[in-house]
Amino acid sequence: MKRKRKRSKLRASGVNPQRFNKGQIKFYLYLIPLAVFMLLPIIFITMSAFKPIDELFAYPPRFFVKNPTLNNFIQLFSVSSKTNVPASRYLFNSIISTVLVMASTLLMSSAAGYVLSKKVFKLKKILFSINNLALMFVATAVAIPRYFVIVYSGLQNNFAANIIPLLAMPVGLFLVKQFIDQIPSALVEAAVIDGASDYKILTKIIIPLIKPALATIAILAFQTAWNSTEASTMYINKETLKTFSFYMTTLSNTSGNVIAGQGIAAAATLIMFLPNLILFIILQSQVMNTMAHSGLK
């Protein structure tokens, strides 16, 4: 009996409670205000995106929109201030490059992850530790030499500059490899005895089993590509090859007149933000599953 009482007390202090109890109220007391603070700027852009011009200019400024309108979106896609390139062109470039980055990253990291996890060869350990070291790679730190790599590889002013520099993603390879480590080697060995080639094993056994990890990398690749302004700012001069995220930064020139372009900029920001959110909500349980294996040892 005594033991049982202790147990129930433990349950209350433990992780992942099954139902609500009073002890959880204190967490809500600070988590909810914090969540409001996190959400506020996002609600704010949503509001601004639908505000008509007189509400954007209103003094005192109003947080909530009164007469919502799609005007800002229409304006965003009809005019493009400095250049003659319509916003839809930037959006198209972003979609194409993001899809290609996602597809290639998934393929490359699962192929490399499989070899690093299940195959035996000389450089295996070294390759994985170099990749681990590169987890902390900060691309902006070496922006200058990266620029020269682009120039000498002929990618400058080429649409591929939006894609190729983003493909090697150390975090992606790391997560896939950790996940493939969980697959019993016996499964792979059995397939080898049955005469399956590495390509067959990869496509028929490994890839179906690592879907949660692939979902996670899909999100990371999406975020990297969709939000990237690196190529459009530094490697590409042709306006028609640049991406939407870059176009957005030209709209939000904070030192100039913020209010005038605010509605259009907010509409663009919303277009940037929503796909990120939707994709994450769809895939979040898979992401949490992968993250459980994300440990660095």
Ramachandran assignment for 16, one of left (phi > 0), alpha (psi -120 to 50 degrees), beta (any other): left
Stretch that binds other proteins, among 68-76, 84-92, 142-150, 185-193 (CB under 8 A): 142-150
Considering only CA atoms, give the Rg of the chain: 24
**Residue from 2, 5, 8, 14 that binds other proteins (CB under 8 A)?**
14
Of 28 and 83, which has the nearer Cβ to other proteins? 28
Of 149 and 190, which has the nearer Cβ to other proteins? 149
**Residue from 53, 167, 191, 209 that binds other proteins (CB under 8 A)?**
167
Our finding on whether 30 is near other proteins (CB under 8 A) is yes
Kindly identify the residues of this chain, within the stretch 255-274, that bind other proteins according to CB under 8 A: 255-256, 258-259, 262, 265-266, 269, 272-273
Q: How far is the CB of 130 from other proteins (least distance, A)?
A: 8
Our finding on whether 145 is near other proteins (CB under 8 A) is yes
Secondary structure (DSSP) of 36-52: HHHHHHHHHHHHHHT--
Secondary structure (DSSP) of 192-232: HHTT--HHHIIIIIIHHHTHHHHHHHHHHHHHHHHH--HII
The answer to whether 215 and 173 are in contact (CB under 8 A) is: no
Our finding on whether 35 is near other proteins (CB under 8 A) is yes
Q: How far is the CB of 57 from other proteins (least distance, A)?
A: 8
Our finding on whether 297 is near other proteins (CB under 8 A) is yes
Choose among 245, 234, 237: nearest CA to 165.
Answer: 234
Kindly identify the residues of this chain, within the stretch 100-119, that bind other proteins according to CB under 8 A: 108-109, 111-112, 114-116, 119
**Residue from 87, 106, 171, 241 that binds other proteins (CB under 8 A)?**
171
Of 61 and 84, which has the nearer Cβ to other proteins? 61
> DSSP character for 233?
I
**Residue from 4, 22, 38, 82 that binds other proteins (CB under 8 A)?**
38
Our finding on whether 208 is near other proteins (CB under 8 A) is no
Axis-axis angle for helices 258-291, 211-227 (nearest 10): 160
The amino acid that residue 182 corresponds to is: Q
Q: How far is the CB of 263 from other proteins (least distance, A)?
A: 10
**Residue from 218, 225, 248, 283 that binds other proteins (CB under 8 A)?**
248
Of 241 and 261, which has the nearer Cβ to other proteins? 261
User: What tokens appear for 27 in the block?
Assistant: 């967490």
Residues 6+ apart with CB under 8 A from 252: 261, 265, 269
Residue 60 CB burial class (10 angstroms; 0-12, 13-18, ≥19): exposed
